[in-house]
Structure 1
Amino acid sequence: MYLEGALGPHTYQYTGNFPTPILTAVPRYSLFTGDSVTLRCELTQSQNGWEFLWRKDSNRESTGAATRTINSVKVSDGGEYKCRARRGRYYTERPKAKVTIKPAQHVFRGDTVTLRCDINGEGVTSWSYSWYKEVSASVFSYRQEHTFSSVTESDAGKYTCKGSETEGSRWSQMSDAVTLTVSDPRAVLSFSPHMWLTEGDPVTLICEVYNFSTGWTFSWFTLTVSAKNSRHYNLLSDSSRGAGGNYTVSSAALNHTGVYSCRAEREKPVYKTQYSNTQLLWVTGVSPPVSLIVSPCRTQHFTSVSLSLSCEDQSNSTGWRVRRYTDGGRLEDCSSLRRGSQTGSTCTISSTNTSDTGVYWCESESGGKHHPVNITVHSGVILESPVHPVTEGDHLILRCLYRHKTSPNLRADFYKDGSLIQNQTTEMSITTVSKSHEGFYYCKHPERGESPKSWISVRGENKN
C-alpha cells in the first residue's frame, strides 16, 4: 500500500545565536506500508545541551532524541510531523505575533481605534512590543495596545508588530500585516433638473453619500453669511420631507432662491458627515423689477480686464447692490472684493481673475434677489454669448474669441450639450430661436483650445 506522509523539511528561523532545526525524512517522504523511515531533527549548530520535542498532526508534543526511526510503517503512521528543540526556557521555534484592530479594520474618520499585539510564546511571561507601519523600519509605538483617539485618513495603512522578551534575548516573528481603512463619508448635494428655475417649477435637492449608500438620514440647510463674513447654516424646518436623500419642492417660489447645503448621519456606526458642498438655487420671477447690465455684454470674460455690473431699476429706486456666489463657495458683496468697488448700484472689478467666476445678482436693501447672471472668467478661448435669456423667434449669434490675436474672432467648432453642431466657422447663427435651442454651448479651436460652457436660456414670446 502506498503511504503519503506530510513529512519535512520544516524550517524554523531564529535571530541571535540559536540554531535552526531542519526536519528531514530518510530515505524519502512518500512510503509504502512495511517500509522503514528515519526522521531527523537536525540543528545548524552543535546539538549539545538541547532537548528535542516531537509532534504528529495535532497530537501533544513528546520528548525524544534528535532521531526517530519507524521500522515498518503503517497507514496510521502517515501525517504531518514537526520538531523543535529546547534548552532551558529557550526554544528554537519563534512564536508569531498577531495584530487585532478594534472596533473594526474599516472605520470612519474621527473614530477611536485600538491596535493590539498578542504573542503566545511558551516559557515567556513578559514581552516588549514594537509597532511598524507600511514598510518603514521606524518603530512608532512600544505598547502592546496603541490607540488612535480620533483617526484620520493619514492613519490608514498596513500595520505589523513583533515582540522581544523583556528579561531575555528571545524575539517573536513579525506578525502578518493588517490593513486599517479610514473613510471620510462626504455628503454631496445636487439639484434636479437644474439650478435655474422659474416661479412654479418643481425642483428636487438630492443628498448622497458616495460608497456608503444605506443607513443614512439627511438634513437640509440654507447658508447665510454675516457682515463679518462668518457662515451660518439654517436647518430647513420641513427637512423631514427629505427621507431617502431627496428634498422636493413641487412649486418653486422666489423665496426659495438661496445657497443650500446638506449633511447625513447614521447610527451604526455612529457618524455625522460635515456639511456638503454648497449649491446656489435660483428662482426667477416672470417680471423682475431690476436688470443686471454687464459690460462687456457677454457671460464669458478674459482675465486681467475691467468688468462692470450695474443694477438698473425701472422705477429708478436706489438701494440695489451687486452680490455674487463664486465657484469657490464664497458669498460676497462687490465692495468687499480686493479688486472690486461699488459706486451706487454699479460694481466694477478693475482686473478680472479666474476666481471671479460665479453667479452675480442684484439684491435690494430688504434682501430681495433678482436677475442672476452666470459670469465666467477664463484665460484662454471664450464664447461670446448673450447675458440675458433669448426670446423665442429672436436671432442668436455666437462667436469664439481669443484675446492674443489682432482680430479676436476665431474660426472654430461650436458644440451644444457636447454634440458638434457647426464646424470651422467664425460665428454660429440661429435665425429663429426656439425652446429646443436651450442648453449648454461652447466653442473649440484646434490650436487655441476650447472655451468654458455657457447656459443659454430661451423664454416664450409672451414673457417680458
Structure 2
Amino acid sequence: MWLLKVFSLACLTAVCAGQDDSHAVTRTIQENELVTTKPQPDPPTPILQRLTKWSDVFETEELQFRCEVNGTEWTYSWYKNNEKLHEEQSLLTISSVDHTHEGQYSCKTHLKSKGVESESSNTVDVKVYTKPKPTVTRSSDYAMMYPKEPIDFTCKVDVSSEWEYVWYHNGTEISDSSSEKHTIHTIGHPDSGKYHCKAKRGSFYTEASGTINLQVSDPPTPILRRLTKWLDVFKNEELQFGCEVNGAEWTYSWYKNKEKLHEDQSLLTISSVDHTHEGQYSCKAHLKSRVDSEFSNTDDVKVYEIPVPSVRPLTQWLDIFPTEGVQLSCRMQGSSGWKYTWYKNAEKVQVGKTVKIENDGSRLTISSSSTSDRGKYSCFGKLEDRSVISSFSSNLTLYVYDTIPKATIVQNPKASLMHTEDWVSLSCHVNVSSGWDYMWFKDESSLVSSGNTHNISSVVVSDSGSYKCKVKRGNVFKPTQSEAIAIKIEERPQAEIILQTKWLDAFATDSLALKCEVKDENSWNFTWFMENDKLEESTSERHIVTPNNDPEQHPYTCQGVRQGRPFYSKMSAPLKTKNLLLKRRILLSISGLLFFGIIAIFLGCIALKFFRKPAAENELPDENDLFLSMTKTKDSPDGPCPLVEFITEASLKASPKAVEENGEICSETTSLPIILEENQAVMTDTNNATENGCGLVSFKA
C-alpha cells in the first residue's frame, strides 16, 4: 500500500505540475525496485503554437504552427476542422496560403511504443485575407511645390500590423527609407516625380500603392510693368507700377535700388514724383509661409524738369518778301506727345487762308506772306492726357519786306568785245536776305549753271549773246530777271611764220631768217618758241636760226602779244628748219660735184687725145670718123664712158657733206647740159644730135 500510495502521489504531482516525464517515473520505479506492473497515466495534452508573428494571414503568405509536448518519442498528427492532415512532424508549414487553408487547426501526440494518443491540443483559427494594397498620402496638397519646402509622404495598410515599408521614386526603390512616413525636409528639382510604396512582413510584400505626383518648380519671377503710358516722367506727375505673377495667394514687396519700400500690394503708386523718386524699381512676390520669388525685371525712373520748347525756321530765311512762304517749327528736345500752341506778339495765332497749323501744332505755315505777318513768334507745349504744361519758348522775329528786291548782273572782266580763248565770269547779286536760287539765260535759253556765278573758262564765237539771270527762293520767283549784258566774241588773230632766207641766199649763208606776222590792224610784239619752249632772248618779229644755236634743228612757233585786247594771237603753225638746211647742203654738194666732174671730164678728154697711141697710117680713120657717131657709139659695147667712170668713182668717194644726217647717201641726180665754147663752132644746123649712154654728145658734119 505504501508503495502504491507513493506511486499515486508521484503521478498526481506530475499531472498537477503539467509534466509528463515517463523516464522519471521509470527511474522512480527502478529506484524503488518495484517489480510489480503499475497502471499507465494519461498522455500529456500538446500545446499548439502559431510561429508566425501575426494573427491575420494573407494570400501567398507563409503560415507555420508547432505542436509542443515534453519528450522526444512522441509523434504528431495535425487536424484542420477535426480532419486529419498528412503531417507527422512537430511543425506544420504552409509556404503560400490561400483561402483553402482557412479553418481551425489542432494537433495530437502519439507514443507508438505504448500505443498512447494524447488529447487534442488547443485550437487556432486561421482566416486568409486577400493581399492588401496600401494607400499613399502627402502632407502638402499644393499642386506646385517650390525648392527648399518640406513634404511628408505616408504609406498606410488598413489591416494587420507590424509592417515594414518600401518607398519608390519614379519606379526606383529608395533604399534609406523603410518607415510608413517618407520625409523630404528641403525639396529640390531632382525630387520631382512619382512616388508609391509597398508594405512587407518577412518575405511577403503587399500590392503596390497608387502613385502620387510631386512637381517642383522655381517660384515664378514677377513681371514689373509701368502702368503710366509714358516713359519720361516730369515733376509732380503721377507714376504707377504693377507687379504681376500667376496665382491669387501671392503678396508683394517693392524695392528701389534694392532697398525695400513699405508697400505690400501688387500696385505701387507715387502721386507726385520729384527727384527723390529717381532710381531703379523692382518687386518680389511671396507665398505666405512658403517661398519668396526672385527679383522682377527693373525699371529705371528718371524725373525730368519740364522742358522749354524752341522755335526755329524750317525755311532758310526769316526776312521774306510779299507773297513768299515761310515755315516755323515748335519742338521739345528729346520728348514726344506734346501739343503746341502758337502766339504772335503775345496773341494767339489764328488759323486763316494763308496761315496753317498741323494735328499736333508743331508746324506753323504761312503760304503767302504780307507785312501783317511781321512779328515775334513763340509757342508753349502741353502733354495730351497729362497735366504737364511747359513755359513759353523764346521769341523768333519774322520780318516781311515792303517790296520785292532786284537782282543785278556783273561781268568780270568788263569788256563788250572778247576773243576766243578768253575767260569771262558773270555773277548775279541780290542785295538783301539770303537763300536765293539762281537761274541763268543766254538769248532767252536756259544755261546749265548753279550758284550765283556763270563762268566760261575759254570762250568761243558761239558764246556771243545777251546774258541775264533770274532768282527764286522756295517755289516763288522774286525778281523776274536782271538786266541783260551783251557779250561779243571774235576769233583770235592767227600768227604765221614766214621764211625770209631766199634760195640764192642759201648758197651764200649758213643761217635762216624767220619772221612772225599777225595780219590785223593792231601793233604786236612777239614771243618765239622752239619746240614749245619759250625763247626769252627772242622777242622781235625776226628770229635767226643757225647751226650753232640750234644744232638739232627743232621746229619753231611764234605768237603775237600786246597790251590791249586781244592780248595774244593764236599760235602759228610749226616751221621745221631741219629740212631747209638739209636741202641747202644737198644742193651745195651736188653743185660742187657737177663743177669738179665737168673739169675732170675735160681734162680726161685732153689726156686721151695727147697720150693715146698713134695708129698706123693706113689704119688711121678718116678725119670724118674721128668722133664716133651716136649710132656707132650705141652699137659699140667697147665705147668709152669717162663720165660714168668719174661719177661712179665720185660716188664711192663721196664726202660726208653729201650724206644726210640719217646716214643715207643722197640719190638725187641732176641732168647736166654741158656745152663747151670750142664745140659751139662745130655745132651745125643738123638736128641729129642725141645723148649717148655716157652723157657725151657727138656731132657729125
Please give the range of the TM-score, normalised by the shorter of the 2 chains.
0.3 to 0.5
Structure 2 length-normalised TM = 0.27
Point out the structure with max Rg over C-alpha: 2
Structure 1 length-normalised TM = 0.39
Considering fraction of residues, name the structure with more strand: 1
